[in-house]
Structure 1
Amino acid sequence: MRLLVLGGTAFLGRALAHAGLERGHDVTCVARGRSGAVAPGVTLVRADRDDPSAGLGGVESDDWDAVVDVARDPGQVRRAVAALAGRAGHWGLVSTGNVYADHSVPGADESTPLLAPRDVGGEDPDAYGGAKVACEQAVLEGLGAGRTLVARAGLIGGPGDTSGRTGWWPWRFAHPAAPGRVLAPDALGDPTQVLDARDLAAWMVRCAETGTTGVVDAVGPTTTIGRLLAASREAAGSDAQAVPADPAWLAEQGVGPWMGPRSLPLWLPVAEYGGFAARTGEAARALGLTHRPLVETLRDTLAWEETRPADQPRRTGLDDADERALLEAWASRRDPSSARGSR
């Protein structure tokens, strides 16, 4: 199969290209090449999709058994569809669960109403969901439902996750800021879902091979924050213990949820996001999406984290001094004599 990946040098795009190679396909990636190298054996065609006049580096003159696009910019997607719809047998679009207007219901499925489409590119997080709705519309209108797979991905993790969301917990258990203690939100029963990028990529390539189509939520198995912390501890081979702190207290200290600087990732304390990490995912599983064990994803992500330069700033989490101060403040709040004794 001739597989064209629009992207291919960063996290998920690279995983898609690698999955295509593993299954014996001829893989070409279109990318600027600024995010890194393509996997060995992949053909890189350099093109800047931000430039409406730049084209796709000549790949639009070839025929492709399948195209997979990871773009979030509706303009990029529309231009790709216009150039390649007549030359592609199958089209896979990596979309997102952010397309939904309501995230409050655990176990929700693809029938949830969508946001209004937004014709906005770039990295604006507030526009992300609506922009992906517009991307989906462009692909479905240009190729039709009979040639299209739209994968509304949940949290994607695994080796190469530069957001730090899935790498933080195994890394922190491997490198506690305070001996034997890791600060965590006291939200251990809250749901979370992690989809290994390698599992998503392998499934999308298999769907391209078989012509599998649909619009489905591609999410990881629903687990809890507590079980994810336990898996992270196992992945790290650590004897450190999680110290759960009241989420309201953490917010008062300026510690944020989900991701970003000075955060504790993956917890969502706001009620309207109660179902964001608990979508059913049944439709994608019915189409063959499978998952490796969570501890394997976390162990492999930790191994990748350990290769990162020590002086490279983390996009998510707490620095050591900050976490130690927070642990002491939380211990003092709960038991002043305990905090004095720890000094």
Structure 2
Amino acid sequence: MSLLVLGGTAWLGRAVAAAGVALGQEVTILARGQSGAPPDDVEVVRADRGAPGAYDVVRDRDWDVVIDVARQPSHVAGALEAVGDRAASWVFVSSASVYAAGEVPGADETAALLPAHEADDEGWETYGARKVAGERLVLDAVGERALVARSGLIAGPGDHTDRTGYWPLRFAHPASPDDAVLVPDSPLLTQVLDVRDLAQWLVSAGLSRAGGVVNASGPTIPLADHLAAARSVAGHSGPVVPVDQDWLAAHEVAPWSGERSLPLWLPLPEYAGFMARSTAAAEALGLVARPLEQTLADTLAWEVSAGPGRARKAGLSPSDELALIAAARS
């Protein structure tokens, strides 16, 4: 069985290629190769998807499954034009960011979408709308042969966004001399899926010719339970310092990610359902999530091996957290 992964050296794409190899597939990846090393035992076609002739090496071959993780509409369109007719199954990895609103927990795939943004763009503000455009291109071109997987927050070892690794690492290495850790006091629901589980399912679903549009994420649990799991795998026994969202806003702590942020936390009520979408359709197609504790333990081990002191894309610096803990306690 032949599997073509469009992008296979970055985090998710590499996991998809590795899952294909593990499932006994003949895997080819087409990528620039600038995001990391490809997995072992795959054919590598180095190409810039925006350049003429990018698909020349693969366009005259038949593929059992094509899996595309593209975020640029032109890349989606180019791949479909080149190999859309040669694929028995086409899997497009979309995003839960396609939805126009996130207030309602339990919303399914029929929820309203953002207007499509059909031009290429690097800005985060158009990311979800570009994925909407990609979905439409795929569904129009390959129809019933397409599986559109709207991924939620991906977790696990290798998380270069630093969102899922922040909490187990901080609990394992507190900034405060008394091992205190600042945490958001919020009833927010969270939903993450291990990158390895998502990758394995994407390949398996493609091989089984699954089709349709589905939300692909993990179980929904309260943020407090997610933090408790991170604390447990880190072996943290120090105090926690809970602060509510008004306090965080007043002290200029950002939600979700970025500099001076608390990862995973989002303000309510506008994000009450952002990480709490129905995944019943994907589960019916075989999606299974491993225990959160296993994901967080493996992520912590990767964080330690990657170097706890490296520059991060999300979270509080130790100095910021020390100042915030002092402010909260005063």
Determine if the TM-score, normalized by the shorter chain, exceeds 0.5: yes
- Verify: 1:131 aligned to 2:133, yes or no: no
Structure 2 unmatched ranges of 5 or more: none
CA distance in 2, matches of 1:240, 1:120: 49
Q: Deviation at 1:280? A: 1.4
Relative to structure 1, the CA distance from residue 132 to residue 57 in structure 2 (aligned partners, 3 Å threshold; closer, same or farther) is: same
- The 8 Å contact of residues 179 and 239 in structure 2, kept in 1 or not, is answered as yes
- 1:203 is displaced (CA, Å) by 0.7
1:197 corresponds to:
195
Alpha-carbon separation, structure 2, partners of 1:303 and 1:122: 35
Aligned amino acid, residue 91 of structure 1: W
8 Å CA contact 2:259–2:316 kept in 1: the answer is: yes
Name the structure 2 match of 1:304.
Answer: 302
Instruction: Report deviation, 1:237.
Output: 2.0
Q: Percent identity, aligned pairs only?
A: 52
Distance apart, 1:50 and its partner CA: 2.9
Residues 1:290 and 1:324: Cα distance change in structure 2 (over 3 Å) = same
Structure 1 unaligned runs (5+)? 333-343
- Deviation, structure 1 residue 208: 1.5
* Number of the residue aligned with 2:320: 322
Q: Give the TM-score, by structure 2 length.
A: 0.97
Alignment map for 1:50-199 (pairs within 5 Å): 50-51=50-51, 53-56=52-55, 58-144=57-143, 146-178=144-176, 179-187=178-186, 189-199=187-197
Cα distance between partner residues in 2 of 1:311 and 1:233: 19
- For 1:60, the aligned partner's letter is R
Name the counterpart of 1:279: 277
1:35-54 equivalence runs, <5 A: 35-51=35-51, 53-54=52-53
| Matched residues, number | 329
- C-alpha deviations, 1:266-295, integer Å up to 9, x for none? 111142211111111111111110000001
Question: Deviation digits for residues 22-70 of structure 1, max 9, x if unmatched?
Answer: 111111111111111011112211001133x242251112111100000
Amino acid at match of 1:34: Q
Aligned equivalents of 1:242, 1:89: Cα separation in 2 = 52
- Distance (whole Å) between structure 1 residues aligned to residue 309 and residue 225 of structure 2: 30
Residue aligned with 1:306, SS? helix
Partner of 2:204: 206
Q: In the TM superposition, what is the alpha-carbon distance from 1:209 to its structure 2 partner? A: 1.5
State the distance in 2 between where 1:289 and 1:24 align: 19
Provide the residue aligned with 1:340 in structure 2: none
Preserved CA contact (<8 Å) 1:95 1:151: yes
CA distance in 1, matches of 2:230, 2:274: 21
What do residues 179-224 of structure 1 show as CA deviations (whole Å, max 9, x unaligned)?
321111111x210001111111111111111111110001110001
